Amino acid sequence: MAERVVEADGIELCTEPFGDPSDAPVLLVMGTGASMLWWEEGFCRMLAGGARFVIRYDHRDTGRSVTYEPGHPGYTGMDLVEDAVRVLDAYGLPAAHVVGVSAGGALAQLLALGHPARVLSLVLISTSAAVPGGDRELPPPTQEFLRFASDARVDRSDADSMIAYQVAYARVLSGGRRPFDEDAARRLARRDVGRARDVAALRNHDSLPEGEPPQAPLSSVGVPTLVIHGSADPLFPLAHGEALAERIPGARLLVLDGAGHGVERADWEVIVPAILALTTAGGAGRGKSREGSGRDRSVRDRSGWDRSVRDRSGWDRSVRDRSGMEKPRPPRAP
C-alpha cells in the first residue's frame, strides 16, 4: 500500500499501512527524532504476513508529517500521544495493538494510561517507565553512550552531516556485542534525511515540553503486555526493561541476548512471532515470566508458540555548544 497523509485538528500526519484492513490492527510508534522508516519495511511486511493490519507513521517534525519552525515546536510530548489517537481515528479503528520502541514505548504507555479503551495490548521495546514510581534505582546509560552524547557534533543544515551522525548514533545504540551493518544503516539514514520535509526540524524533539501526562500508575494497565529488551542496550540498560515489566501487571519480559537499543534485523525472527503471539485472540498469556533468546536457537514458552532464537519518557535532548553545532545529550533518568 502507498503512504497516506491523514489530517485531524489541522495536523497532517504521514502514515503507511501494510496488510488487510480486516485483520487485527497493529500500530507502530517510533521513538522521537526518527521517522517511520526506522520501522523497516521488511519488518512491517513480516508482521502483516501474520494476518495483521500494520500501520506505521511519521511523528510531527519527522518524515513527511507536519513540520514546525526549528527550535519552536509549538506542541508537547503529550500531543504526540494524541497523534496516535488521530491515526487510529483516521483509519476508523476503535482500538489497536500498540508497539512502541524507545521513546515510542513511553508514548505507548501514556496512550494506554490516557486512552485505555484504544489499546488492545502493548509491546514495549528498548524503553523505560514513562511515569514515576517503583522502588528500583535504575542505571544510567553506558559510558560509551555518554561519550558519544558529549562529543558528537551534527550540522542539521547539512544532509551529509546528518547522515553521518545518524550512522554513528546507530552504531553506538547497537551496543557493541554484535557486528554492525554500517552500509545498511547508511542507506536507511540517507533515505530518512532525503525524505524529510525539513530535516532541521528534527531538533524540535530535543526541546519538547512534557505536557500533562495521565496521573494513573503503570499498575493500572490492564491489557496484555510484552516488554522486549536487549541485554546490551546502552541507553536504557536491561534493568530498565526488568523494572518496567515488574510494574505492569502480568507483563512478560523477553530478553534479546546481545541486542542493543532498537529493533535490529537479526532479531526480527524473534520479535515478530512474539508480537503475533501476544496479539492473537486468546494467545496472550498473562502470567508473569522472564524469557531469554539467543540468535541461533529456539524456545517454546508456556503458551505453546515457537520463537527462533530518547527525560522521563525517553525524549532525546540536545544542547548547543559554542561552535553553533549541536551535541546530543542523553535523556534524563525516568
Catalytic residues: 102, 233, 261
Specify the residue for cell string 542493543: 260
Distance CA 195, CA 184 (A): 17
Adjacent-strand bridge partners of 15: 4, 57
Q: 143 CB contacts (<8 Å, ≥6 apart)?
A: none
Count CB neighbours of 281 within 10 A. Answer: 7
Minimal CA–CA distance to 17: which of 77, 69, 86, 88?
A: 88
Adjacent-strand bridge partners of 308: 298
Distance CA 223, CA 221 (A): 6
Phi/psi of residue 109, nearest 5 degrees: -60, -45
* 84 class by beta-carbon count within 10 Å (0-12 exposed, 13-18 middle, 19+ buried): buried
Distance CA 19, CA 100 (A): 19
Fill in the DSSP letter of residue 223. Answer: S
CB 157 within 8 A of CB 243: no
